[in-house]
């Protein structure tokens, strides 16, 4: 037997974690760890590196060294030299062998960072207080898009542009079965893309618990299984995401309101659903529940999607009202009560009653419980961590990415930010450019935008030349017998350089990336109009919209070049 001296263990649970970590090191046949004695004894195969033993312990946040022995022995892997865990390392150049990075969270930003950091030689301790995978796979993007797709199928069975030849057959909605299908796919993706990936990476240690900063180089983790553990780090990434924000409406705290999490997990479709909010989550879930059978009322403090080009909100409101979704604009509830299984919302015009109430008024960063002040990490007025384009916070060695920061709350932004943070934490130099950020809202018709709106360009002092193409000019929309929506192009006056695109159209999300690439490569509308686009696709609408800057597309043949 040989022995490690270990400091920092605070309970027998700590010892159990150390034992498990040591026994994962290749060549360790057995380990005995004593919290009382602060030591670990184990049997080793020949050639086991002392650095591997120490790294296994320090990766959990403890300090370790090989106990003194009189001589260095190679047989059996016994080593008498003393090696102690080092203080935070300064690195130069890309690559960071032995660097220890702590990551708070396990969603898109955290996973991208963990995998990239280990590729570059770092050891990672990933700390998650809840379910692995974060918001997107568990309670956000994946389950919501499953719900939306199911609702779309239900809607098409009830009504479609082809009812004259394909008589509608109103569906029976078995919500419990739809929910089981949804949960099954969520569980499958979480296991495949998160749990198994983490379990299969020997350079990542996962701690299940809630972390708080002790100072700028260490964390205290309150373990879910009981006890606490200290984790020292060379670099740290905060990727704790965000949670639903609830407005301070009188009476709301005493009611069983839904956030999107409860709505997506509901095993029943309410007869009446009231929705407070007018942005992405509210409009997506409101339309899905309406198509599955709820009578839906949306209370919008301003208008739907009021931060976008006004034409977008107008088009979506018209589409919703055509589906008998009640949209109350410039309306706020002054009080909410719940009695006998029913919500009552007091509004200026009287009241609205509903079996369920969804609150979808935005998301707040998960930063309050982290004791960020101990590490000197600054927040903005909304509680989001302030980062620069490299994901650095104002605290040396501490980075942040994803929805807990002041960057846009999109999962693909979080993943890109996590990757760049890992590159920078391991000695590289990477930035995140958000000037060409495509965005999609999964209503029907979909909303997709990229670059400047006309109003945003003017706010920046940019003179614009804009064109709007209605979908009755797009052959794909005509053959679909669905011409709801438009494609609007914003170009720079004089040069014709494409600055932005806003689209309201079925499958708008499938065309917006082509617009993003055109903007990124500084194409003009003339450049875009001369490109080859496949006929009878929705993306061909981009070419037609570009052609409107120089032609009357109504006077062109179907696929005029």
The answer as to whether 86 is a domain residue is no
Domains held by the chain: number: 4
Residue with tokens 């360790």: 28
The answer as to whether 12 is a domain residue is yes
Candidate from 39-48, 384-393, 541-550 with smallest mean pLDDT:
39-48
Whether the predicted pLDDT of 89 surpasses 70: no
* List of residues 6+ apart from 556 with CB closer than 8 A: 547
Q: Give the mean pLDDT of 476-487.
A: 98
Q: Looking at the structure, do residues 240 and 143 belong to the same domain, yes or no?
A: yes
Answer for the pair 511, 539: CB distance below 8 angstroms, yes or no.
yes
The answer as to whether 19 is a domain residue is yes
**Can 62 be counted among the known catalytic residues?**
yes
- Residue 349 buriedness (CB in 10 A; 0-12 / 13-18 / 19+): exposed
Give pLDDT tens digits for 215-265.
999 999 999 999 999 999 999 999 999 999 999 999 999 999 999 999 999
- pLDDT band for position 52 (cuts 50, 70, 90): confident
**Can 141 be counted among the known catalytic residues?**
yes
Query: What residues pair up with 229 in beta bridges, in sequence order?
Result: 221
Give pLDDT tens digits for 431-458.
999 999 999 999 999 999 999 999 999 9
* List of residues 6+ apart from 520 with CB closer than 8 A: 436
Q: What is the pLDDT of residue 10?
A: 56
**Can 192 be counted among the known catalytic residues?**
no
- Residue 71 buriedness (CB in 10 A; 0-12 / 13-18 / 19+): exposed
CATH number of the domain where residue 345 is located: 3.50.50.60
Q: Give the mean pLDDT of 12-37.
A: 80
Whether the predicted pLDDT of 413 surpasses 50: yes
SS3 224: coil
- pLDDT band for position 13 (cuts 50, 70, 90): low
Number of Cβ within 10 Å of residue 448's Cβ equals: 26
**Can 194 be counted among the known catalytic residues?**
no
* List of residues 6+ apart from 470 with CB closer than 8 A: 483, 485, 486
Residue with tokens 């739907």: 304
Q: Looking at the structure, do residues 354 and 415 belong to the same domain, yes or no?
A: no
Q: Of these residues, 1, 35, 62, 257, which one is catalytic?
A: 62
Whether the predicted pLDDT of 299 surpasses 60: yes
Hey, what are 425's tokens? Answer: 């934490």
- The phi and psi torsions of 501 (rounded to 5 degrees) equal -140, 135
Whether the predicted pLDDT of 74 surpasses 80: no
Q: Looking at the structure, do residues 187 and 322 belong to the same domain, yes or no?
A: no
CATH number of the domain where residue 490 is located: 3.30.390.30
**Separation between Cα atoms, residue 186 and residue 142, nearest integer Å:** 7
Domain span at residue 15 reads: 2-77
**Separation between Cα atoms, residue 217 and residue 64, nearest integer Å:** 17
Residue with tokens 């990933």: 126
Give pLDDT tens digits for 268-286.
999 999 999 999 999 999 9
- pLDDT band for position 38 (cuts 50, 70, 90): confident
Higher local confidence (pLDDT), 79 or 364: 364
Query: What residues pair up with 344 in beta bridges, in sequence order?
Result: 337, 353
Q: Looking at the structure, do residues 177 and 289 belong to the same domain, yes or no?
A: no
The answer as to whether 33 is a domain residue is yes
Q: Looking at the structure, do residues 380 and 276 belong to the same domain, yes or no?
A: no
Q: Looking at the structure, do residues 392 and 457 belong to the same domain, yes or no?
A: no
Q: Of these residues, 9, 404, 425, 538, which one is catalytic?
A: 9
Q: Give the mean pLDDT of 90-116.
A: 85
CATH number of the domain where residue 25 is located: 3.30.70.100
Which residue, 13, 47, 77, sits at the end of a domain?
A: 77
Q: Of these residues, 11, 35, 412, 466, which one is catalytic?
A: 11
The answer as to whether 89 is a domain residue is no
Which residue, 345, 361, 377, sits at the end of a domain?
A: 361
Q: Of the candidates 421, 387, 422, which has an alpha carbon nearest to the alpha carbon of residue 96?
A: 422
Q: Looking at the structure, do residues 210 and 294 belong to the same domain, yes or no?
A: no
**Separation between Cα atoms, residue 258 and residue 134, nearest integer Å:** 19
Which residue, 320, 342, 361, sits at the end of a domain?
A: 361
* Mean pLDDT over the full length of the chain: 92
Higher local confidence (pLDDT), 89 or 328: 328
CA 33 remoteness from chain centre: 39
The answer as to whether 470 is a domain residue is yes
Q: Of these residues, 1, 192, 394, 559, which one is catalytic?
A: 559
User: Would you give the DSSP letter of residue 109?
Assistant: H
Q: Give the mean pLDDT of 370-382.
A: 97
**Separation between Cα atoms, residue 49 and residue 67, nearest integer Å:** 15
Q: Looking at the structure, do residues 109 and 221 belong to the same domain, yes or no?
A: yes
The answer as to whether 84 is a domain residue is no
**Can 466 be counted among the known catalytic residues?**
no
Look up the pTM and report it.
Answer: 0.83
CA 462 to each of CA 173, 369, 452, 550: distance values in angstroms, whole numbers, following the listed order: 50, 42, 10, 21
* List of residues 6+ apart from 527 with CB closer than 8 A: 518
Q: What is the pLDDT of residue 55?
A: 77
Q: Looking at the structure, do residues 190 and 237 belong to the same domain, yes or no?
A: yes
Q: What is the pLDDT of residue 64?
A: 82
**Can 394 be counted among the known catalytic residues?**
no
**Separation between Cα atoms, residue 380 and residue 385, nearest integer Å:** 6
Q: Report which listed range, 3-7, 40-44, 290-294, is most confident.
A: 290-294
Q: Of these residues, 111, 136, 391, 404, which one is catalytic?
A: 136
Q: Looking at the structure, do residues 368 and 448 belong to the same domain, yes or no?
A: no
Q: What is the pLDDT of residue 348?
A: 96
The answer as to whether 82 is a domain residue is no
SS3 131: coil
Q: Looking at the structure, do residues 468 and 498 belong to the same domain, yes or no?
A: yes
Q: What is the pLDDT of residue 287?
A: 98
Give pLDDT tens digits for 104-133.
999 999 999 999 999 999 999 999 999 999
**Separation between Cα atoms, residue 57 and residue 125, nearest integer Å:** 11
Hey, what are 207's tokens? Answer: 């701690």
By percentage, how much of the chain surpasses pLDDT 90? 81
Three-state helix/strand/coil letters over 241-269: CEEECCCCCCCHHHCCCECHHHHHHCCCC
Hey, what are 440's tokens? Answer: 């999609």
* List of residues 6+ apart from 507 with CB closer than 8 A: 446, 538
Q: Of these residues, 1, 14, 257, 466, which one is catalytic?
A: 14
In 360-443, DSSP assigns E strands to 363-365, 398-400, 439-441
Q: Of these residues, 35, 141, 412, 466, which one is catalytic?
A: 141
Q: Looking at the structure, do residues 444 and 498 belong to the same domain, yes or no?
A: yes
In this structure, the dihedral spanned by the alpha carbons of residues 323, 540, 542 and 472, taken in order and rounded to 10 degrees, is -40
């Amino acid at each position: 037997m040989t022995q490690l001296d270990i400091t920092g263990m605070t309970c027998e649970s700590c010892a159990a974690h150390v034992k498990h970590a040591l026994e994962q090191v290749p060549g360790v046949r057995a380990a005995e760890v004593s919290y009382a004695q602060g030591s670990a004894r184990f049997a080793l195969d020949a050639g086991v590196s002392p650095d591997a033993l120490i790294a296994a312990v320090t990766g959990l946040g403890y300090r370790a060294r090989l106990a003194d022995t009189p001589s260095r022995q190679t047989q059996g892997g016994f080593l008498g030299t003393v090696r102690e865990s080092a203080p935070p390392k300064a690195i130069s150049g890309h690559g960071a062998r032995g660097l220890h990075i702590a990551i708070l969270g396990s969603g898109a930003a955290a996973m991208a960072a963990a995998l990239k950091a280990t590729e570059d030689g770092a050891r990672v301790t990933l700390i998650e207080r809840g379910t692995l995978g974060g918001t997107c796979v568990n309670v956000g993007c994946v389950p919501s898009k499953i719900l939306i797709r199911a609702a779309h199928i239900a809607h098409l069975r009830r009504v479609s542009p082809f009812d004259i030849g394909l008589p509608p057959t109103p569906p029976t909605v078995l919500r419990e079965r739809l929910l089981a299908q949804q949960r099954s796919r969520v569980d499958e993706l979480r296991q495949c893309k998160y749990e198994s990936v983490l379990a299969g990476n020997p350079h990542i240690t996962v701690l299940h618990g809630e972390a708080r900063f002790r100072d700028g180089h260490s964390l205290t983790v309150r373990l879910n299984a009981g006890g606490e553990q200290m984790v020292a780090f060379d670099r740290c990434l905060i990727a704790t995401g965000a949670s639903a924000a609830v407005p301070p409406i009188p009476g709301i705290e005493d009611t069983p309101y839904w956030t999107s999490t409860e709505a997506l997990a509901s095993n029943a479709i309410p007869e009446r659903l009231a929705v407070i909010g007018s942005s992405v989550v509210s409009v997506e879930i409101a339309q899905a529940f309406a198509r599955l059978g709820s009578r839906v009322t949306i209370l919008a403090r301003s208008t739907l999607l009021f931060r976008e080009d006004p034409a977008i909100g107008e088009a979506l409101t018209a589409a919703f009202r055509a589906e008998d979704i009640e949209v109350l604009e410039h309306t706020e509830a002054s009080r909410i009560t719940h009695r006998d299984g029913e919500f009552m919302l007091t509004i200026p015009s009287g009241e609205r009653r509903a079996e369920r109430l969804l609150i979808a008024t935005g998301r707040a960063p998960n930063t309050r419980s982290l004791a960020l002040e101990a590490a000197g990490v600054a927040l903005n007025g909304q509680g989001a961590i302030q980062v620069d384009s490299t994901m650095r916070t104002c605290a040396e060695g501490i980075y942040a990415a994803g929805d807990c920061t002041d960057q846009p709350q999109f999962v693909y932004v979080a993943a890109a930010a996590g990757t760049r943070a890992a590159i920078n934490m391991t000695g590289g130099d990477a930035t995140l450019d958000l000037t060409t950020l495509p965005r999609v809202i999964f209503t029907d018709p979909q909303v997709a935008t990229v670059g400047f709106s006309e109003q945003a360009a003017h706010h920046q002092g940019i003179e614009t030349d804009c064109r709007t193409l209605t979908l009755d000019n797009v052959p794909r929309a005509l053959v679909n017998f669905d011409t709801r929506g438009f494609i609007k192009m914003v170009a720079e006056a004089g040069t014709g350089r494409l600055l932005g695109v806003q689209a309201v159209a079925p499958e708008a999300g499938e065309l917006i990336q082509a617009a993003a690439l055109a903007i990124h490569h500084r194409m003009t509308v003339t450049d875009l109009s001369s490109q080859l686009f496949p006929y009878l696709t929705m993306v061909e609408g981009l070419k037609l919209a570009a052609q409107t800057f120089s032609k009357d597309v109504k006077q062109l043949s179907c696929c005029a070049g």
